[in-house]
Amino acid sequence: MTTDLDLDLGAVAAALRASTVRVEDERGRGQGSGIVWNEAGLVLTNAHVVRGRSAQVTAAGTQARAARVVQRDAQRDLAALVVDDAAGLVPARVRDSQTLVPGELAVAAGNPHGLVGAVTAGLVHRCNARWVVADVRLAPGNSGGPLADAWGRVIGINSMIAHGFALAVPTSAVNSFLGAQPERKLGVQLTPVVLGRGAARVEAQLVVGIEAGSAAERAGVALGDAIVAHDAASLEVVRGGARLRLTLAWPEGAHAA
């Protein structure tokens, strides 16, 4: 018997697989997973997966593509790659990990032991500036892959296993690594709110002020919108009970990531 939950998790798994890539280090010393971060071919993974200056990135159903390592932070175990041929790559949806609460569903995708597109689920136990901790099952090959919420939005990058728990680098740390400070550049005033009830509750940022001529105003953000996720290119908001994705248009020379 197929339940609504089965169908929902199936859709989440399919979306995560589409944005998860296999990453192979140029030296052949590392192999793991990565996350397509934007349409420009930016891929995020762990620093311990890629130790050289280049790598091979393979998306589902495609040939391997060359990628350049453009940024690395061994202490945070993060590395950023750029795939020159980004055609057909599917960017992941990203959620601010600071909005997580313990007990939320967590879903991990990756390529453990060479098993392409494997997905496993569990619950978030805690989240802080250092780690998102969840009881999902990881194995070698999951490193660098996404840890996502029940809607398939990435909340962390899987890094290691400790005492049986998965440890993922939170997206708040990833944004800091990339130099992203969207809440400062959007031109909005925000206040924290909680949407929904019980297990369906989601922490969000309510828009209570918008600066004239700001990136938020150009994107169509309205007073009363609740921001539930963002990345360098877009915002996901709840407006009147409906979820909307608003595209950000930054002035020339400016960026959020």
Contacts 24+ apart (CB under 8 A), 236-244: 236/93, 236/153, 237/207, 238/195, 238/204
| Residues shown for the chain | 257
CA nearest neighbour of 148 among 248, 229, 213, 238:
229
Task: Provide CATH 2.40.10.10 ranges for the chain.
Answer: 4-83, 97-176
Query: What's the topology of domain 4-83?
Result: Thrombin, subunit H (2.40.10)
231-243 average pLDDT score = 84
pLDDT greater than 70 at residue 3: no
Q: Report the alpha-carbon distance of residue 34 to residue 109 in Å, rounded.
A: 10
pLDDT greater than 80 at residue 28: no
pLDDT greater than 70 at residue 110: yes
Residue 70 Cα to chain centre, angstroms: 18
CA nearest neighbour of 255 among 157, 180, 159:
180
Q: Give pTM, 2 decimals.
A: 0.68
CA nearest neighbour of 146 among 164, 158, 131, 133:
158
212-233 average pLDDT score = 86
| Residue 48 or residue 193, greater confidence | 48
Site of tokens 């420009």? 40
What is the dihedral sign for C-alpha 165, 139, 229, 98? positive
pLDDT greater than 50 at residue 184: no
Could you tell me what percent of the chain has a pLDDT over 70?
A: 86
Task: Provide CATH 2.30.42.10 ranges for the chain.
Answer: 180-247
Q: What is the mean pLDDT of the chain?
A: 84
CB atoms within 10 A of CB 140: 13
Give the pLDDT score at 255: 37
- Residue 189 token pair: 């005033």
215-219 average pLDDT score = 88
pLDDT greater than 50 at residue 210: yes
* Residues paired with residue 81 on neighbouring β-strands, in sequence order: 43, 69
Of the given ranges (17-21, 57-61, 124-128), which has the lowest mean pLDDT? 57-61
pLDDT greater than 90 at residue 146: yes
So what CATH class is 97-176? mainly beta
Which CATH number applies to 180-247? 2.30.42.10
64-93 average pLDDT score = 90
